[in-house]
Amino acid sequence: MDKYEPVRDIGSGNFGVARLMRNRETRGLVAVKLIERGRRVRSLGPLFVSSRGLDWVGSAGSSDPALCWFGCADRIDENVYREIVNHRSLRHPNIIQFIEVILTPTHLAIVMEYAAGGELFDRIVDRGRFSEDEARYFFQQLICGVSYCHHMQICHRDLKLENVLLDGSPAPRLKICDFGYSKSSVLHSRPKSAVGTPAYIAPEVLSRREYDGKLADVWSCGVTLFVMLVGAYPFEDQDDPKNIRKTIQRIAAIQYNIPDNIHISDECRQLISRIFVSNPLRRITMREIKSHPWFLKNLPRELTDAVQLSYFRRDNNGAPTFSDQSTEEIMKIVKEARTMPKSSRSGYGYGDECSDEEEKEEESEPKEEEEDECDKRVREVRESGELDMASLRI
């Protein structure tokens, strides 16, 4: 960490702190996640700037389902490794740039681009909702960023307003962050767990069977668009918004409505209706969204296909070349970060936190994906009989 000088602490979570730092050579600002080595953590969450300063989604004290990260990583393990490896392979103007990962005697440090403009969620909270033109402006950027991820064979699986940052410029550039739940079709199996945030998950994710993560991302983009336009989540019961069971049931039934007092063009309504389709094979695809008349209206030049194609580059071996650190080096760093060096354990409480048996367990290869809170809630609803799987029509 010698190359960076601390500026100030800008957030904290269950597992560590977020720190704004400055590159001593370039003088550029970066955001750094500092995760204590060997410590069990409940959630990583994305790094974002809000009215509360830099914070973490799913941090302690938040009970709002819209604000909570419903997944958890029990240790510095597969979720951390997946976030780093998938994120490092992406280089696009609408994706927060991964810079590097550093191992210190006490922490795993994930260095990334600093987004000074805050998260899109806070902007909507401040404004109530966006005009159709403003919503389209951000939706166009979101779709281009997600489309690039899909081209690179990565599905995000946790797209939501809290995972979308702004760069702080007068005409804000949208930046997708947090790849802790992402899946690579090259590195990982097809997803089947109900990770993410309940308000955004697609019907097929509720089935707990294998699903196409890219099509599930399309659904989540649709939820994001709806919230920007309406100022409310499409499948939450407005009289009981924290009732996750009701949210899941309404998703399964495709039960949503646009209030009469909110004017949305017919083209936009038609696009939303094509996104909120229960059968993912009948849902509009990313390619079709990018050719939809509503999407193409006032499309900035930098988001046109002609310009976007310049970002879809790979080296001759088909592997991304956007990070100086190799996958093997990152894997080694993450593996070493799972345990605190013996000489550094005193004073950190690790002796009380992890037994020798648990340490041996940490050193073994972790399970790729364990049941998280969202997965647990979906399972409970299914087992209760309250969710009619036949109604999913998938």
> Which residues are part of the catalytic machinery?
158
Q: Answer whether 181's CB lies under 8 Å from 79's CB.
A: yes
In 3D space, the residue among 123, 131, 118, 116 whose CA is nearest the CA of residue 298 turns out to be 131
Contact between 108 and 101 (Cβ < 8 Å)? yes
Task: Report which secondary-structure segment, H or E, holds 269.
Answer: helix 266-275
Which residues make Cβ contacts (< 8 Å) with residue 201, sequence separation at least 6? Answer: 194, 216, 219, 220, 251, 374
d(CA 153, CA 77): 22
Rounded Cα gap, residues 127 and 129, in angstroms: 5
Angle in degrees, CA 242, 115, 82, rounded to 5: 70
Residue 11: both structure tokens together: 């957030």
Distance CA 212, CA 223 (A): 17
Q: Is 65 helix (H, G, I), strand (E, B) or coil?
A: coil
Structure tokens given for 111: 């260095």
Give φ, ψ of 366 to 5 degrees: -75, 160
Element (H, E) at 228: helix 213-230
Neighbours of 33 (CB within 10 A): 25
Task: Identify the three-state secondary structure at position 344.
Answer: helix
- Position 371, amino acid: E
Q: Are 249 and 387 in contact (CB under 8 A)?
A: yes
192 appears as a binding residue in the annotation? no
Nearest of 173, 168, 174, 207 to residue 191 by alpha carbon: 207
Strand blocks (E) in 133-214: 154-155, 164-166, 174-176, 183-184
d(C-alpha 101, C-alpha 257), whole Å: 44
Residue with tokens 């099509």: 215
What count of other Cβ atoms lies within 10 Å of the Cβ of residue 306? Answer: 8
Q: Binding site residues, as ranges? A: 33
Q: Binding site residues for ATP, as ranges? A: 33
